[in-house]
Structure 1
Amino acid sequence: MSSTYSILVITSGKGSMLYSDRESHHLEKGMIMFVPAGTPTKIDCSPWAESDLQYYKLDLGVAEVKEDISDHSFTIIKAEQHEFLKEIKAQEAFPLIQLNYSPWSSCLEALEQILRQQVTGDWLEQWEVQLRFQEWFRALLRQSDPETDAPDDRARVQSSIRYIGDHYDQTITVDELAADIGLTRASYTRQFKRITGKLPLDYVNTVRLERSKQLLQLTDDRIHEIAQNVGFSSEYYFGRRFKQYAGISPGLYRRHHRQEVRVFAPYLEDFLLAVGIKPVLQCSHHSWGRQHYLGLDDVPEFDVSQMDAEFNLGNEPDFIMLDKGYHRWNLDRFEQVAPTFYVEQLGEDWRSILRSTADVLGKVDRVQDVIGAYEDKALEAKGRLTRYMRGQTVAFLRISASDITLYGDQQGYVGPVIYQDLGLTPHSRVQQWTRHERRISIGLEQLSQLDADHLLITFDTGDSSEPGDERELLDRDEWKRLPAVKNGNVYEVDFMSWMNYGVISHGKKIEDILRFMA
């Protein structure tokens, strides 16, 4: 129960909201719900959804409009908010209200900008966050005016989406769906994609394929029977669409949910261990070594830097998983050895990678507990760091014999963890120089401007001709003059655990930061 007015913006998945202990409201991507203060709510994720229910939650604090405000437009916006909230109070019998915002992409873009900038310590940027929110909120109120036609069209499309969920096993055409709610095919398709992010028939196939996964796990029905039960007339077409969607064939998906599998997943071992699977091999690199933080001391190594390396007798995998870096190591040559699954998501989206890993290997039941444990750990750490750091700035450097690399605050191995999950404050140069980039190379002149309160560093031995070459920077005057160096606030961290994605890797990052800074 929130003590303030709240707005929920559903960005993915499906679910339901039970409010006031008496009524339930369906939730799905594209919906915006206004929840008055003091309304008890419970949100559940649908077990049939293709992705977890995710949403932004905005808590509204109502400020008084002062007469001496010179910005007339700002005064109008504030007045509109007051009128809206006054009307809400008058509608005690309708505690939950659905709002509308179009286009959906603009809604998400505005919220993402607000989220990215809300941690800034610069007062001008803080003011810009407030203005951006006011503009977003004003557009939300105007588009939700009951006199406009758009909300009615949106409600009709949402009813069509619910129809698909109930009748996915039947023949469905876009023309029939559009005609049923009185829209043209073009208008229906446009609004459908705005709400769901998918074209209508792609959405229908997604519903069918998710249901087929459940039948593959829970029944012994033949593949062609499952195909027919979920609405596919051809087993061949079903198999092809299933592999495009899940990354593996229906038969392999079923086997992985019923028996243990020997997996080779170079630089994805973190995800295997997180769901309880020990890989048959662990990757290593002649310069970087192996991922010691994973504790796989009894697992044989496979050196990915040897471009022609082969599997030894007894170490052949049953299944191979590769991320987007497989070209670098020529690993697609093993497609003929075992069925191969390619991870499509970027490393920053490690939760989706973890879900994909669990899905194709039959460990879906473990995922939510793993993610929940990480988020609890991060939240507790964030609270401790807030008390100790009090706005002090942080930067992360990867140092080699030939380069100094500064990592950004939005992407990459470290930024999403230390600046977003833990709420540490990036140095202003981090934000300025790495905007929209995972990392950038900087010279000594730029290094001299990096007067962060704390520096996290790791050493990359990949370019070192002799042991210790990568540490020569520490003898430079430019390094010794840095405030963090003078104050003893430089912390060296393990290369492999910090230069990796995954829930175990990110957990190690949190432990390191707490040890150094809290």
Structure 2
Amino acid sequence: MKSSNNISDKLASYLYKLEHVKRVNSNSAPVQHETSSHGLLLLKEAKGDIVIDGRSYSLQPHKAFILPPHAAVRLQIHQDAQADYYYIQFHALEAVEQGCYAPAALNCPVELFLTHSRFLIDRIHEMERKLRSGNSWDSMKANIIFQELIAALFQDAIREQQPDLNQAISVTMDYMEQNYPLHITRMQLSEMAGMSADYYSRAFKKKNGKSPMEYLTDIRISQAKQSLLLSGDSFRSIAQSVGFSDEFYFSRKFKATTGRSPTAYVKKIKYSDKIASLKHFLTGHLIALGIEPYAAIINNAYPVTSRFRNTVAVGGFNPDLEKLVSAKPDLIITSGLHDDEKSHKEKIFDQIATTVTLPYDLDWRNQFITIANIVGREKEASDWLERYEHKAEKVRKQLQAHIGDEAILVVGIGEGRMCVYGQRNIGTVLYGDLKLGVPSGAADIVHYKEVTLEELSAYEGDRILLTSFQHDGTAHMDGAIRREVQALWTNKQWLAFKAVRNGAVYSMYDSQHLYTCYTSLTHDLFLDKAQQLLMSDSSKRRS
């Protein structure tokens, strides 16, 4: 039998040529694989069986099958099940002599378990778009994307064949993390790892301190905790969404794992005063709700946090895991980019306390309401937002009467750096809530864009707000920003800007990120600051 290394080397040496991509669903005719090319079936949703050259395999989401040329293939989809999968035709060629290639036999497993299904499906979508364009160069790019896809598939397949114990177990752990709502069995996981079920279970427990099914249950319970806090769904719906067969079994497992019933758990978290906030903007939301966090990231970059007297500091910029463990919070709130896979740190946070990760790109009002729901302050959030909207409307009318449709440019000053702030952070108040004029080009900036002084002229506004950029809260940065601002006033190009000539430049760079944090508390404070600055006598233009 050929070694895994030899198979890997062979697969890597072949040329792969994409021929066709087709998406098949319940409304489509089933795929017919009667061709001299290879086929790849990648399943998004399917239940049933597939028979390939007389051998039967079970169908389920996040699986793939390699179909040899001229293989007899028959799909048997369950009558009440939805089908959604991709069928890809491709050629595999091997070099037989200098400059000559012949069709290659792929000695890889027919059945593949996908550990990067989101990546692969995104790649297929991109391939489809480029193939549909009809452009020859796009077809070439689609084939390059296919190379990446086939490499990812085959590398995973080879890893599953290799007797690398830790790596094989890690593959199954990743699979459980990504596919916990599915029906997953020990046998399926052991096959994925290339081991007998008993040996796999012993090796898994030695590595993780618990059996594969216990590990899967922990993942499901962790996800259920977030759903219990973030949604108003029924226990039945939550149970099914995380992979439990019914709400009664879910409740028993939940209590066995946490020591509390789902109802008691939600009540404990909602009325707990031991909340740890790992992001400044989340801390701002808590303060707006009248809650000083039990533990938090504390530094002078967001001056609000340095005023805390009773809050446990669990880090200056990033969480110190030892301090977080010592604090023993009941709930950790943090944020991250939307991703199906949890970071290593998030998994550690989950072991310390229930961790809720809010998407970074969630609108601040939705962030605020979500946190209020978690901590049982729905009424306080509703009242706060009502007051905020009334205040914003009042300030908006005053400013529009005073400055009309003049464009307000927000320039961030850092150490040797400069940026234009866009629609998020401070822009969400200026351009969104107050509906003030947006300088040309700034409307296309989501968060901020670093610029040079020469490039700044492209965004010239009628008025300029000077604030800080990437301030780390240190006295050194305070001094560096002051020196940068002083240098501006000696620069001929800066002095030539319309807002500078008219004396319409406003300074708030000495407040670190008090006014540039994307949170309810900051936005409320900035309404006051904007009113103070833009309505002041200094806002009158000098001719």
Larger radius of gyration, structure 1 or 2?
Answer: 2
Q: TM-score scaled by structure 2? A: 0.46
Q: TM-score scaled by structure 1? A: 0.48
